[in-house]
């Protein structure tokens, strides 16, 4: 499990929860992040409660999904960066986001978004997507992931198998995407096929695809999507994580406990429970109870645990935080430098886009 919690500092209650559950990771949101030094200390305190190396996760895409906006400065959105047409800026975005993550103590960024920017989802996804063309999406994502990697941060492609045609927000409702297998394979699934060796993690969406599965089962708890398509057809070998199990898209089909069990049973390695402690405990207890009473599920859960531990061993250098993430405090000049670099990058993207717009408007001689 990767779990979220309330608060901006370690408490006896949180310490007890982490020590008991020994989660694979934690995830922080704006509610947890006051400033860089406080965030770094909170994550260090979390690491000290867990015996295995800890995934310290954040959603940091830029634009509307930017957990560091108040702590550092605003980062431009994926769409704004892509509009520049400059591959170096695509990579630079991943690098600067990655360096800021690393400095604050994070080693996993749940980005980039691989959903295609179709009209159906435009009001919901907005500037989080870069193109309707899977080739352009791959071009951007490959560079962004390379930038994260340079900063020693693990990226995550989302939201498999694709929310580009979704008309409902999966945070609140279950989108049912009526699209044929042939079109999904050629369009929405193309980024996952092309990037299968570069994606450290893949996040599975709470959306239904009736034309593929024959029912309204969310992909996040679907054997068809996780085992048959992502693992077997696409050949993805790294970690699979569910989207937050507290979202309405999956709760339309199952309780928190049921969703956690069904997600792991369907082939996920990790499940996200991001907000309420009672839901974290409900998911944990459901997983333990099912493993104790069902040998087949216990074997599946064991496979997930082994895959996670093997992955952590392989990426031990990334998960081990250096001086920037533990022990040594972030100085005010270092924080100012990070904020300045973000602002300068945003200005560079803005000016590049203005230049491109002017060149398009300028009449040819």
Active site (catalytic) residues: 171, 243
- Complete DSSP assignment for 72-96: S-PPPPHHHHHHT--HHHHHHHHHH
- Other Cβ atoms less than 10 A from the Cβ of 85: the count is 12
Residues forming beta bridges with residue 160, ordered by sequence position: 204
**What is the phi/psi pair of residue 110, to 5°?**
-75, 70
Q: Which residues contact 112 (CB under 8 A, 6 or more apart)?
A: 61, 78, 94, 140, 141, 144, 145, 155, 157, 158
Cα→Cα distances 269→183, 184, 202, 226, 265, Å = 27, 24, 10, 10, 9
- Complete DSSP assignment for 126-191: GGG---S-HHHHHHHHHHHHHHHHHTT-EEEEEEET--TT--S-TTTS--B----HHHHHHTTTHH
3-state secondary structure of 126: helix
Evaluate whether 151 touches 101 at the Cβ level (below 8 Å): yes
CA proximity to 201, closest of 117, 263, 138, 109: 109
DSSP assigned state of 35: S
Cα separation of the two ends of the chain:
61
What are the start-end ranges of the E strands in 6-153?
25-28, 55-58, 60-62, 65-66, 108-109
């Amino acid at each position: 499990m990767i779990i979220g919690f309330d608060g901006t500092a370690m408490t006896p209650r949180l310490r007890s929860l982490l020590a008991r559950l020994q989660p694979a990771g934690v995830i922080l949101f704006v509610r947890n992040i006051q400033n860089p030094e406080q965030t770094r200390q909170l994550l260090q305190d979390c690491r000290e409660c867990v015996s295995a190396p800890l995934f310290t996760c954040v959603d940091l895409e830029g634009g509307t999904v930017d957990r560091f906006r108040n702590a550092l400065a605003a980062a431009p959105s994926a769409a704004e960066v892509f509009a520049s047409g400059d591959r170096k800026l695509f990579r630079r975005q991943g690098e600067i986001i990655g360096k800021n993550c690393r400095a604050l103590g994070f080693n996993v960024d749940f980005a980039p978004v691989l959903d295609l920017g179709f009209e159906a989802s435009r009001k919901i996804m907005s500037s989080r997507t870069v193109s309707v063309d899977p080739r352009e999406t791959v071009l951007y994502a490959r560079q962004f992931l390379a930038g994260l990697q340079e900063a020693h941060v693990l990226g995550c492609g989302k939201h498999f198998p694709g929310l580009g045609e979704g008309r409902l927000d999966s945070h609140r409702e279950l989108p049912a995407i009526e699209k044929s297998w042939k079109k999904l394979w050629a369009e929405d699934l193309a980024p996952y096929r092309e990037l299968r060796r570069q994606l450290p993690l893949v996040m599975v969406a709470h959306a239904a695809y009736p034309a593929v599965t024959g029912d309204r089962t969310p992909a996040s708890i679907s054997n068809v999507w996780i085992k048959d398509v992502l693992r077997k057809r696409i050949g993805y070998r790294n970690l699979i994580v569910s989207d937050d199990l507290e979202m309405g898209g999956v709760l339309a089909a199952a309780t928190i406990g049921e969703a956690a069990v069904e997600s792991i049973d369907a082939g996920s390695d990790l499940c996200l429970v991001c907000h309420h402690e009672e839901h974290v405990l409900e998911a944990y207890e459901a997983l333990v109870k099912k493993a104790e009473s069902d040998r087949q599920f216990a074997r599946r859960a064991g496979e997930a645990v082994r895959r996670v531990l093997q992955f952590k061993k392989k990426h031990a250098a990334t998960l081990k935080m250096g001086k920037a993430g533990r022990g040594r405090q972030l100085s005010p000049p270092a924080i100012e430098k990070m904020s300045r670099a973000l602002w300068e990058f945003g200005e560079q993207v803005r000016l590049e886009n203005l230049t491109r717009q002017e060149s398009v408007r300028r009449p040819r001689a």
